Protein backbone atom coordinates (compact mmCIF):
# COMPACT_ATOMS: atom_id res chain seq x y z
CA UNK A 1 0.00 0.00 0.00
CA UNK A 2 1.44 3.35 -0.98
CA UNK A 3 1.11 6.57 1.00
CA UNK A 4 0.87 10.15 -0.22
CA UNK A 5 0.42 11.52 -3.71
CA UNK A 6 2.55 11.17 -6.77
CA UNK A 7 3.95 14.26 -8.43
CA UNK A 8 1.45 13.91 -11.27
CA UNK A 9 -1.50 13.87 -8.85
CA UNK A 10 -0.08 16.86 -6.99
CA UNK A 11 0.30 18.84 -10.24
CA UNK A 12 -3.27 17.94 -11.22
CA UNK A 13 -4.66 19.21 -7.89
CA UNK A 14 -2.60 22.42 -8.18
CA UNK A 15 -3.87 22.97 -11.74
CA UNK A 16 -7.49 22.59 -10.62
CA UNK A 17 -6.94 25.08 -7.79
CA UNK A 18 -5.24 27.53 -10.17
CA UNK A 19 -8.11 27.31 -12.69
CA UNK A 20 -10.67 27.92 -9.95
CA UNK A 21 -8.70 30.93 -8.65
CA UNK A 22 -8.29 32.38 -12.14
CA UNK A 23 -12.00 32.06 -12.89
CA UNK A 24 -12.80 34.26 -9.86
CA UNK A 25 -10.21 36.94 -10.68
CA UNK A 26 -12.39 39.00 -13.11
CA UNK A 27 -15.17 39.21 -10.53
CA UNK A 28 -12.76 40.40 -7.86
CA UNK A 29 -11.25 42.95 -10.26
CA UNK A 30 -14.69 44.33 -11.18
CA UNK A 31 -15.66 44.53 -7.51
CA UNK A 32 -12.50 46.42 -6.63
CA UNK A 33 -13.01 48.80 -9.58
CA UNK A 34 -16.58 49.49 -8.49
CA UNK A 35 -15.46 50.29 -4.93
CA UNK A 36 -12.76 52.60 -6.33
CA UNK A 37 -15.27 54.41 -8.59
CA UNK A 38 -17.75 54.86 -5.74
CA UNK A 39 -15.07 56.28 -3.45
CA UNK A 40 -13.94 58.70 -6.18
CA UNK A 41 -17.53 59.77 -6.78
CA UNK A 42 -18.10 60.32 -3.05
CA UNK A 43 -14.87 62.30 -2.80
CA UNK A 44 -15.85 64.50 -5.76
CA UNK A 45 -19.31 65.13 -4.34
CA UNK A 46 -17.77 66.06 -0.98
CA UNK A 47 -15.55 68.60 -2.78
CA UNK A 48 -18.62 70.06 -4.53
CA UNK A 49 -20.57 70.23 -1.29
CA UNK A 50 -17.73 71.93 0.60
CA UNK A 51 -17.25 74.46 -2.19
CA UNK A 52 -20.99 75.18 -2.32
CA UNK A 53 -21.03 75.87 1.42
CA UNK A 54 -18.17 78.37 1.09
CA UNK A 55 -19.76 80.00 -1.97
CA UNK A 56 -23.18 80.16 -0.30
CA UNK A 57 -21.76 81.94 2.70
CA UNK A 58 -19.80 84.39 0.55
CA UNK A 59 -22.61 85.09 -1.93
CA UNK A 60 -25.04 85.57 0.97
CA UNK A 61 -22.78 88.29 2.38
CA UNK A 62 -21.31 89.92 -0.74
CA UNK A 63 -23.30 88.80 -3.77
CA UNK A 64 -22.04 86.73 -6.71
CA UNK A 65 -20.25 89.56 -8.51
CA UNK A 66 -16.93 89.07 -6.71
CA UNK A 67 -16.75 85.32 -7.31
CA UNK A 68 -14.10 84.84 -10.00
CA UNK A 69 -14.46 81.91 -12.40
CA UNK A 70 -11.39 81.33 -14.55
CA UNK A 71 -12.32 78.97 -17.37
CA UNK A 72 -8.70 78.61 -18.57
CA UNK A 73 -7.45 77.23 -15.26
CA UNK A 74 -10.83 75.73 -14.31
CA UNK A 75 -10.93 77.27 -10.85
CA UNK A 76 -13.24 79.42 -8.77
CA UNK A 77 -11.58 82.04 -6.61
CA UNK A 78 -12.74 84.38 -3.88
CA UNK A 79 -10.43 87.28 -3.04
CA UNK A 80 -7.62 85.53 -4.94
CA UNK A 81 -7.94 82.27 -2.99
CA UNK A 82 -8.93 79.12 -4.87
CA UNK A 83 -12.13 77.55 -3.55
CA UNK A 84 -12.31 74.62 -5.98
CA UNK A 85 -10.48 73.52 -9.13
CA UNK A 86 -11.33 71.24 -12.10
CA UNK A 87 -14.45 73.36 -12.64
CA UNK A 88 -16.07 73.12 -16.08
CA UNK A 89 -19.00 75.42 -15.40
CA UNK A 90 -20.23 78.00 -12.93
CA UNK A 91 -23.34 80.15 -12.99
CA UNK A 92 -25.14 82.35 -10.49
CA UNK A 93 -28.36 84.02 -11.59
CA UNK A 94 -31.16 85.86 -9.86
CA UNK A 95 -34.22 83.71 -9.29
CA UNK A 96 -36.61 86.64 -9.55
CA UNK A 97 -36.43 89.87 -11.54
CA UNK A 98 -38.11 91.80 -8.72
CA UNK A 99 -35.72 90.86 -5.93
CA UNK A 100 -31.94 90.70 -5.66
CA UNK A 101 -31.99 88.51 -2.55
CA UNK A 102 -32.13 84.98 -4.02
CA UNK A 103 -29.64 83.39 -6.41
CA UNK A 104 -29.73 80.06 -8.22
CA UNK A 105 -26.19 78.67 -8.51
CA UNK A 106 -24.77 75.73 -10.44
CA UNK A 107 -21.30 74.27 -10.08
CA UNK A 108 -19.95 71.62 -12.50
CA UNK A 109 -16.72 69.66 -12.26
CA UNK A 110 -15.14 67.07 -14.50
CA UNK A 111 -12.91 64.42 -13.01
CA UNK A 112 -11.48 61.68 -15.22
CA UNK A 113 -12.31 59.05 -12.59
CA UNK A 114 -15.75 60.23 -11.44
CA UNK A 115 -16.89 61.88 -14.68
CA UNK A 116 -18.85 65.12 -14.84
CA UNK A 117 -20.72 65.98 -11.67
CA UNK A 118 -22.76 69.04 -10.81
CA UNK A 119 -24.46 70.58 -7.83
CA UNK A 120 -27.26 73.14 -7.89
CA UNK A 121 -27.98 75.24 -4.84
CA UNK A 122 -29.93 78.34 -3.87
CA UNK A 123 -28.53 81.24 -1.86
CA UNK A 124 -30.72 83.71 0.02
CA UNK A 125 -29.22 87.02 1.06
CA UNK A 126 -30.39 88.39 4.41
Give residue-wise pLDDT tens across range 29-43.
666 665 556 566 677
Domain count across the chain = 1
The reply to whether 12 falls in a domain is yes
* pLDDT at 112 exceeding the cut of 70: no
Residue 52's domain comprises 7-124
The reply to whether 2 falls in a domain is no
User: What is the per-residue pLDDT for 102?
Assistant: 85
- Residues 69-79 as b or e (16 or more Cβ within 10 Å = b): beeeebbbbbe
User: What is the per-residue pLDDT for 34?
Assistant: 59
Give residue-wise pLDDT tens across range 67-107.
888 878 888 888 888 888 888 888 888 888 887 788 888 88
pTM higher than 0.85, yes or no? no
The reply to whether 1 falls in a domain is no
Amino acid sequence: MRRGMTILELLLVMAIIAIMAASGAPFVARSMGWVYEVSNSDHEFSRLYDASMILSRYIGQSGPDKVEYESESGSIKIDGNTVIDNVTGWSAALISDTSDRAYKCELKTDNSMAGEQFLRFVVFKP
